[in-house]
Amino acid sequence: MGRAMPPDAATPTPADHDSWATLKRFLPYLWPRENPVLRRRIVTAVLLVLLAKATTLTLPYAYKYAVDAMSTPGNEAAMVALSLVLAYALGRFGGVAFDNLRNMAFERVGQDATRQLAEDVFARLHRLSLRFHLSRRTGEVTKTIERGTKSIDSMLYFLLFNIAPTIIELVVVGVIFYINFGWELVAATGATVVTYIAVTRWITEWRTKLRRQMNELDGRALDRAVDSLLNYETVKYFGAESREEARYASAARAYADAAVKSENSLALLNMTQALITNALMAGAMAFTVWGWSKGQLTVGDLVFVNTYLMQLFRPLDMLGWVYRTIRQGLIDMAEMFRLMDTAVEVADVPGAPAILIRNPMVAFEDVTFGYDPDRTILHGLSFEVPAGSRTAIVGPSGAGKSTIARLLFRFYDPKGGRILIDGQDISQVTQESLRAQIGIVPQDSVLFNDTIGYNIAYGREGATEADVVEAARGAAILPFIERLPKGFETEVGERGLKLSGGEKQRVAIARTLVKNPPILLLDEATSALDTGTEQAILQTLRRVSEHRTTLSIAHRLSTIADADEILVMDQGRIVERGNHTALLAHGELYAEMWARQATESDADAAA
């Protein structure tokens, strides 16, 4: 696990992703071809947007004519003004109603798009190779997914219900101003909006860099916190609480400094935007007052201009935030899509059939493999495990024993040679069917943070309660479970930490019994246990492995002395093979290892 892996790509920046390509890739989630109901909801939402905008754009006319009517004395004018005021109030309510009906129509679309994309990312992560998951930190990956999926809903809302309606409103207001006041006010409004957008974009790009740096530091702080808590016991063993606190505090301080810079830049953006918009407001209203003084405009025109500019500035005031949200959302989505685009190192060949096993024989034929191109771990490895037999693989650390298990499960593909099960090349069959035929009891049996019953039943989808009870009995853990107050409903804790090592191993054995595979892989299944527990587990494993093809990877030779054949590995090659008696008589590496372990056992007994 400590071997070097290919470096990860750098965190995406605004310069190294295509915003249009990201949007184009997301559109199928927004406009699902197979779901006409959602498409109708989108059309309804767009129509409601247009109705809301049309209502809003007519309100200043009602306001203007109401004020002008009030300038003329008389009951008739008062009734006209009253009617227009009521129409204005009704129009404002209509605008709010249309907006909220639009949100109600679109909410299902946004949530479905977010859900579907999140499901696709999650499924993709499970298809990626072991190399990817060993080289990436879980905290960083989950943060990338969280930011990417959370950005979708807000980004959709702003694109469809803020940017697009604002553009429509800007064009219509320009036409209205031209008809009522001439080109001067249109030019001033256009120049102000262009300046506003340019300045907002420039400051927001600068803020995006600060935001990206803040996200990176946030992810680093989270990763350090998660890593420290997952290794809680190790921290306690070495009295390293203060070190862990200092590491986390360093990351938290760096994040806080970045957050301060980001918030200060937001204040600068808000003040700059307010200066630009209020300068136009002052100029436009002064222009109207000047026209009124010349007798060319009415008092209502002042209200008319003021109302339109206030309506126009309301979405523009949010432009910096909207632009930053969309920009950051595109970056987060691009990073998530980049995660989805990570090459699948181990993939099924097109049209691969399911493996069909009648005679569960395992064979390695001249297998060559290395985690890195410049370092080969296995050198032309060849051996057979006959159906129904027990074969053990032993050797010093680094000999390549555990690599064999990973290749058999097809977490990696060999660089050369073939691995066969019942004469079928495992690289030519589906991974799902292959892994369904192999059970494993690993050295460290990691359990889900759920009940004992759930963890045992996890061995096979659809396992019944009777299957779980029978498997627990076969793994010799049923008496222990029955003594527990909650029985099979007992929570095991994160990674199974509420259980002892022997109890975890028995749950792992029961889980494999539920799976009921024809091939059993024991990857140093007892090396982490004490001698007494080890002997009890070994008896269970021997009983479980009967009538199955069993491949045992072992460090303690005493645990595999009764194997039908023992393969002795050294530096990625098989240097000896035979049964226990023959290998001892041979007097080479196996005999040397046996003698060393026997001496260590005698020393432990004497101590």
pLDDT (tens digit per residue) in 157-205: 777 777 778 888 788 888 888 888 778 888 888 888 888 888 887 887 7
Handedness of CA 544, 546, 548, 554 (dihedral sign): positive
pLDDT of residue 420: 92
Q: Maximum Cα–Cα distance for the chain, whole Å?
A: 124
In this predicted structure, the answer to whether residue 3 has a pLDDT above a threshold of 50 is: no
* Residue range 311-319: mean pLDDT, rounded: 75
Q: How far is CA 285 from CA 63, 289, 299, 303, 475, in A?
A: 16, 6, 11, 9, 86
Which one is the CATH code of 352-437+518-607: 3.40.50.300, 3.60.40.10, 3.90.920.10, 3.40.50.1980? 3.40.50.300
* Residue range 250-259: mean pLDDT, rounded: 80
In this predicted structure, the answer to whether residue 287 has a pLDDT above a threshold of 60 is: yes
In this predicted structure, the answer to whether residue 134 has a pLDDT above a threshold of 70 is: no
* Residue range 135-163: mean pLDDT, rounded: 68
Both tokens assigned to 19: 């915003």
CB atoms within 10 A of CB 103: 14
Q: How far is CA 499 from CA 230, 477, 481, 495, in A?
A: 16, 12, 11, 9
In this predicted structure, the answer to whether residue 139 has a pLDDT above a threshold of 60 is: no
Residue 284 CA to residue 184 CA, distance in Å, equals 10
Q: How far is CA 32 from CA 120, 158, 453, in A?
A: 14, 20, 39
Half-sphere exposure of 381 (CA within 13 A, CB side): 33
- Please tell me which of 79-83, 424-428, 443-447 the model is most confident about, judged by mean pLDDT: 424-428
- pLDDT tens digits for range 316-326: 777 767 776 77
pTM metric for this prediction: 0.59
Q: Do domains 352-437+518-607 and 445-516 have the same CATH topology?
A: yes
In this predicted structure, the answer to whether residue 233 has a pLDDT above a threshold of 60 is: yes
Is residue 523 within 8 Å of residue 441, measured between CB atoms?
yes
Residue 525 CA to residue 444 CA, distance in Å, equals 8
In this predicted structure, the answer to whether residue 425 has a pLDDT above a threshold of 50 is: yes
Homologous superfamily of 445-516 in CATH?
P-loop containing nucleotide triphosphate hydrolases (3.40.50.300)
Q: Would you call 183 helix, strand, or coil by DSSP?
A: helix
Place of tokens 């049923």: 478
pLDDT of residue 19: 67
In this predicted structure, the answer to whether residue 118 has a pLDDT above a threshold of 50 is: yes
Is residue 361 within 8 Å of residue 387, measured between CB atoms?
yes
Nearest to 512, CA basis, from 410, 577, 440? 440
Is residue 221 within 8 Å of residue 255, measured between CB atoms?
yes
Strand partners, 459: none
Select the more confidently predicted residue: 529 or 12.
Answer: 529
Q: How far is CA 415 from CA 296, 367, 418, in A?
A: 86, 7, 9
Nearest to 61, CA basis, from 41, 87, 40? 87
pLDDT of residue 395: 84
Worst-scoring range by mean pLDDT, 10-24, 183-197, 531-545, 554-568? Answer: 10-24
Q: What pLDDT band is residue 366 in, cutting at 50, 70 and 90?
A: very high
Q: What pLDDT band is residue 513 in, cutting at 50, 70 and 90?
A: confident
Domain ranges of the chain: 17-340, 352-437+518-607, 445-516
- Return the H-helix or E-strand segment holding 593: helix 589-606
In this predicted structure, the answer to whether residue 574 has a pLDDT above a threshold of 80 is: yes
* Residue range 298-302: mean pLDDT, rounded: 77
Select the more confidently predicted residue: 518 or 244.
Answer: 518
No. of helices (H) and no. of strands (E), the chain:
20, 10
Q: How far is CA 23 from CA 67, 154, 569, in A?
A: 46, 14, 53
- Say which residues have a Cβ less than 8 Å from residue 150's Cβ, sequence separation at least 6: 332
pLDDT of residue 7: 31
* Residue range 565-593: mean pLDDT, rounded: 87
pLDDT of residue 31: 72
Q: What pLDDT band is residue 562 in, cutting at 50, 70 and 90?
A: confident
Q: Chain-centre distance of CA 273, in angstroms?
A: 36
pLDDT of residue 368: 92
Select the more confidently predicted residue: 83 or 387.
Answer: 387
Q: How far is CA 196 from CA 6, 101, 188, 189, in A?
A: 45, 31, 12, 10
DSSP state of 437: T
Q: What percent of the chain has pLDDT over 90?
A: 3
- CATH topology for the 17-340 domain: ABC transporter transmembrane region fold (1.20.1560)
pLDDT of residue 380: 86
184-193, Cβ contacts within 8 angstroms, sequence gap of 24 or more? 184/287, 185/284, 185/287, 185/305, 188/280, 188/283, 188/284, 188/287, 189/280, 189/284, 189/309, 189/312, 192/276, 192/277, 192/279, 192/280, 193/312, 193/316
Please write down the HEC assignment for all residues of 125-159. Answer: HHHCCHHHHHHCCHHHHHHHHHHHHHHHHHHHHHH
Residue spans of alpha helices (H) in 238-353: 241-293, 299-317, 319-340
Phi/psi-derived region of residue 272, left when phi > 0, alpha when psi is between -120 and 50, beta in every other case? alpha
Q: Render 56-110 in DSSP notation, one character per residue.
A: HHHHHHHHHHHHHHHTS-SHHHHHHHHHHHHHHHHHHHHHHHHHHHHHHHHHHHH
Q: Render 457-476 in DSSP notation, one character per residue.
A: HTTSTT--HHHHHHHHHHTT
CB atoms within 10 A of CB 182: 12
CA dihedral 573, 578, 584, 589 (to 10 degrees): 0
